A and B are shown apart, each in its own frame.
Chain A
Amino acid sequence: MLLLCLAAGAIALLPLVLVLFYLLSEGLKAWSPAFLVSPPGGGVTTKGGGALNAIVGTLEMTGLGLAIAAPLGLAVALYVAEYREGRMAVVVRTAVDLVAGIPSIVIGLFVYSIVVVTMGHFSGYAGAIALSLIMLPIIARTSEEMFKIVPRQLREGTMALAMPRWRAIVSVYIPTVATGIVTGIVLAVSRAIGETAPLLFTALGSSFVVTDMNRPMSALPLYMFQNALNIGFPAAVQRAWAAALTLVAIVLLFNVLGRWLASRMLLKGR
């Protein structure tokens, strides 16, 4: 049985090794610091060209998405965990949980049918809203779990001091679990940065460096996707590998950061 389990473990790790191997060997060949700061070149046959458009798009859309999702997620968590207003809290929580289970491509369709159709065109705003819907349930859920683990003694302490509820939440509960909330946010961002599907028909993509979020925008996964589709063209494949390496590096960085924060949280909690 040990042998079978060893085999299963080895096979389970094989894809990781292979993916990392190809990412490093192919990606490093195609990647250079210039990739991060130069605008994309011409068409699929033109060699070189960077991903500045995608990086600007990712920064802007993830940033705005987070600015929408973080307050909403925190509010939902407080509403469900602290205010606990009977049936309405359950309904709100169920709806947010429902969003967590929706395939990300369907989230893209939702945002298309309400934002893109209403505005009449694809835009960075629509992309940011789609990403915020990816992040919202993660942030709401982790923050809610965090408020649940605020020690009872602390709660009783705030009551004994006759603190108003808002004061207890703002000055005691939130600082106590801040690391956990930040962990949730970091994990949410790391998830959103890698998402392609919800951006396909919201942000659409663009081969220009666009800072105006009212226009179609690119993002790293989108940039990689569009280059990877042109698999017959070596130049596009090169760019796709470089984008893949950049993307995985960023996502892993956020992931490791999130885990590190989470482990600090555990240490503090015990």
Chain B
Amino acid sequence: MTAETAPAPTDTPGAFIRQRRMSLGDPLLGWGVRILSWLAFLAIVVMLLDTALHSIKLLEHTSLWDFVTGTAWQPASLVYGALPFIYGTVVTSTIALLIAVPLALGAALLVNEYLPSRAATPVAYGIELLAAVPSVVYGFWGVIVLVPALRVLEEAVAGSPAGQFPLFSGPVPGPSYFAAGVILAIMILPIVTSVARDAMRATPRLQREGALALGATHWETIRHVVLPFARGGIFAGVILGLSRAIGETIAVLFVIGNQPQINASIFAPGYSLPSVIASEFAEANQPFHPEALIGLGVVLFVLSFAVNLLARGVVGRFEAHAGGADVR
């Protein structure tokens, strides 16, 4: 910085170089940036390792295989099996995707293809606002409004012939995998919609006009030009939604019923990986109970890491093809 205040004669090229070399600012900012970045990196690595080390203590008590495939979770008798939670996470995320993906696609098409922009903007904005509502608000609203409303539907289905299938059988206590899936669907709808919209919008104009010029109707253009073109991006959006659904904690905790069991019926109460950690960790005082919960956290981490890896691969390929719609 001191070099800047004393301007060197600048009539020769060498003077520039001399001036740059004397500048204190460059090493200062350069090393500042480097050190802070490495610090952030180091903190992340240390935390990952430290958490892993904490959970490894569980292996003195339960083998990895027994932990991951164990169907019973009874901290009072020191039995720790993760399967009910893994099952709950998988089932609720699947329900969420089954509900959210068609809705998101429909909403994305509506906003991008059908509505005039004056009507499209508020609809798009409204859907994006869904993402701004904190999950604790969804959970509370879910338990007060959604669960009683869904219960009526669940009773109707369980009472109808469809109730003969174990998947839809009663009894119907209210909080359930299904209720959790619906809440998750609401929460991931915005991200899936916005990524799908970006992907559809990236369709080259020429292809679209070409299809119309060949006599295709609007729907045929969508079906044969827009959707195939946007396929990769839509898939990326779905994966991003899935990764949100897997990790969602508080909203699920309110509506899933918090029963560590595996039940074939989606109307039965269950538990999910994040929600059991949230509700038991602060009061875990049995031997190996905290370690088992951190172990569940590691399982959750691995699961969401795998999904994110998949998303990154798909998004990377999609970006390479479509020239980069923003998928964040």
Q: Which residues of B, 59-104, contact A by the 8 Å Cβ criterion? A: 102-104
Q: Which residues of A contact B165 (CB under 8 A)?
A: none
Tell me whether A106 and B247 are in contact in the complex, defined as CB-CB below 8 angstroms, given that A9-B111, A101-B308 are known contacts.
yes
Whether A194 pairs with B136 at a CB distance below 8 angstroms is yes
Partner of A6 from B110, B126, B137, B274 at Cβ < 8 Å: B110
Of A18-26, A29-37, A38-46, A207-215, the stretch lying at the interface with chain B is A18-26
Whether B126 pairs with A106 at a CB distance below 8 angstroms is no
| A266 within 8 A of partner (CB) | no
Whether A95 pairs with B44 at a CB distance below 8 angstroms is yes
Whether B247 pairs with A76 at a CB distance below 8 angstroms is no
Q: Give the docked Cα–Cα distance between A141 and B28 (Å).
A: 23
| A267 within 8 A of partner (CB) | no
Nearest-neighbour CB distance to chain A for B96, whole angstroms, equals 13
Q: Which residues of B, 20-75, contact A by the 8 Å Cβ criterion? A: 20, 23, 25-26, 28-30, 32-34, 36-41, 44-48, 50-51, 54
Nearest-neighbour CB distance to chain B for A175, whole angstroms, equals 15
| A231 within 8 A of partner (CB) | yes
Whether A248 pairs with B137 at a CB distance below 8 angstroms is yes
Measured CB to CB, the nearest residue on chain B to A75 is B36
Measured CB to CB, the nearest residue on chain A to B100 is A12
| A221 within 8 A of partner (CB) | yes
Whether A83 pairs with B33 at a CB distance below 8 angstroms is yes
| B162 within 8 A of partner (CB) | no
Tell me whether A164 and B25 are in contact in the complex, defined as CB-CB below 8 angstroms, given that A8-B103, A194-B135, A240-B140 are known contacts.
yes
Contact with B along A95-117 (1 / 0, CB 8 A): 11111011111100111111001
Q: Which residues of B contact A18 (CB under 8 A)?
A: 141, 145
Q: Is the contact region of chain B dominated by helix, strand, or loop, or is it mixed?
A: helix
Partner of A103 from B189, B254, B294, B300 at Cβ < 8 Å: B300
Q: Which residues of A contact B293 (CB under 8 A)?
A: 109
Whether A103 pairs with B274 at a CB distance below 8 angstroms is yes
Q: Which residues of B, 126-141, contact A by the 8 Å Cβ criterion? A: 126-127, 129-130, 132-141
Nearest-neighbour CB distance to chain B for A231, whole angstroms, equals 6
Partner of A221 from B23, B107, B134, B248 at Cβ < 8 Å: B134
| A59 within 8 A of partner (CB) | no
Q: Give the docked Cα–Cα distance between A225 and B30 (Å).
A: 44
Q: Which residues of A contact B41 (CB under 8 A)?
A: 91-92, 95-96
The 3 A-B residue pairs whose C-beta atoms are closest, nearest first, are A8-B106, A103-B247, A194-B134
Measured CB to CB, the residues of B under 8 A from A are 4, 16, 19-20, 23, 25-26, 28-30, 32-34, 36-41, 44-48, 50-51, 54, 102-107, 109-111, 113-114, 123, 126-127, 129-130, 132-141, 143-145, 186, 189, 193, 219, 222, 243, 246-250, 254, 274, 277-278, 281-282, 293-294, 297, 300-301, 304-305, 308, 312, 328
Given contacts A5-B113, A8-B110, A166-B30, 8 further A-B contacts (CB under 8 A): A8-B104, A8-B109, A19-B133, A19-B137, A75-B32, A96-B40, A113-B50, A164-B26
Write 8 A-B pairs (CB below 8 A) sorted by A numbering.
A8-B103, A9-B110, A12-B189, A103-B304, A106-B300, A117-B54, A166-B28, A244-B141
